[in-house]
């Protein structure tokens, strides 16, 4: 437990430092519409996450007879993950994410043909497609939130931090409420440790943090309040009801994402996706819930509420 707390604190400090660095670099961009104003550290980290997540997913498949095309999956996932940043910044202005995804999927199929991958071609190509969609496409929504036109400068960086915080506080709330009050298993076949009481506690924790962010978004003139208002800028366009709904949505979808990754691990007879951070496992173990949350949050903020 102590090890988990220590490494967890170090991970949180690292994430905050990376986001702060991204926000600082975005504020120093010479041109408001430049690539740097749309992010720097965060998109690069998203690309690295896509690569590592691709490799960890491939290990799941290789526990059986399925052998996805790891190199192609990792490169494709990385390109798709950072593409919203590069497209928005004009580096890849002539292409779309849909076109890049199509190339990635057709490329995997072509590799199967050229390798004469029989009799497992169907399984191997399908596994490669799943890796690209999971590690690449889902991650691209985090990059989209960071680099969209309304998130230029530091706003997009802090927004990513807030969304991850609301998502991860659910895990903490679920752990403690499940430990103290857990009596009814949620889906024991997939994740024996999760309980209904834990889920409720996690949802309440996410809602509470989202409400706190909403109230921190104020027009006070003193310096601490001004700093808090800048960090929580995304909440300026949300009502209290929307802040609560956002907290509930992030919590439930995040827990669903965690269950999906648990399904993958149990299918491969693995406890953790890797052993990168002691007490936490691999990259997938740490980002499974944010990856599931990202597209849902993007759709809600951009399409339903029009704040992105």
Q: Give the global pTM.
A: 0.93
What band does 1 get if pLDDT is binned at 50, 70 and 90?
A: low
User: Distance (Å, rounded) from C-alpha 224 to C-alpha 163?
Assistant: 21
Q: What is the pLDDT of residues 29-56, one digit of tens each?
A: 867 678 999 999 999 999 999 999 999 9
pLDDT digits (tens, 9 = 90+) for 105-146: 999 999 999 999 999 999 999 999 999 999 999 999 999 999
In contact, 249 and 292? CB cutoff 8 Å: no
Per-residue model confidence (pLDDT) at position 6: 77
Q: Encoding tokens for residue 18?
A: 């990376």
Element (DSSP H or E) covering residue 185: strand 185-187
pLDDT digits (tens, 9 = 90+) for 217-231: 865 545 555 677 778
d(CA 284, CA 46): 12
Burial class (CB in 10 A: 0-12, 13-18, 19+), 277: middle
For 192, the enclosing helix (H) or strand (E) is strand 191-195
Q: Which residue has the higher pLDDT, 179 or 41?
A: 41
């Amino acid at each position: 437990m102590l090890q988990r707390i220590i490494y967890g604190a170090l991970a949180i400090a690292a994430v905050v430092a990376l986001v702060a660095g991204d926000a600082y670099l975005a504020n120093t961009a010479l041109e408001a519409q430049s690539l740097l104003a749309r992010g720097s550290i965060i998109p690069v980290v998203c690309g690295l996450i896509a690569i590592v997540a691709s490799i960890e997913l491939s290990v799941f498949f290789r526990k059986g007879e399925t052998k996805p095309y790891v190199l192609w999956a990792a490169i494709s996932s990385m390109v798709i993950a950072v593409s919203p940043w590069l497209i928005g910044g004009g580096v890849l202005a002539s292409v779309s994410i849909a076109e890049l995804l199509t190339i990635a999927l057709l490329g995997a199929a072509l590799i199967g043909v050229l390798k004469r991958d029989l009799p497992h071609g169907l399984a191997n190509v399908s596994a490669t497609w799943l890796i690209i969609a999971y590690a690449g496409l889902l991650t691209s929504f985090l990059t989209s939130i960071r680099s969209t036109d309304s998130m230029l400068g530091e706003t997009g960086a802090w927004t990513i931090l807030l969304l991850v915080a609301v998502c991860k506080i659910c895990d903490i709330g679920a752990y403690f409420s499940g430990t103290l009050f857990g009596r009814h298993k949620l889906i024991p076949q997939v994740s024996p440790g999760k309980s209904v009481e834990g889920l409720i506690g996690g949802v309440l924790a996410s809602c509470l943090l989202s409400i706190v962010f909403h109230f921190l978004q104020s027009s006070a003139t003193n310096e601490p309040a001004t700093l808090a208002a800048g960090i929580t800028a995304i909440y300026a366009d949300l009502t209290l009801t929307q802040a609560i709904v956002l907290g509930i949505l992030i919590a439930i979808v995040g827990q669903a994402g965690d269950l999906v990754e648990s399904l993958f691990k149990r299918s491969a007879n693995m406890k953790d996706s890797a052993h990168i951070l002691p007490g936490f496992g691999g990259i997938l173990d740490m980002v499974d819930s944010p990856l599931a949350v990202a597209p849902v949050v993007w759709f809600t903020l951009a399409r339903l509420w029009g704040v992105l």
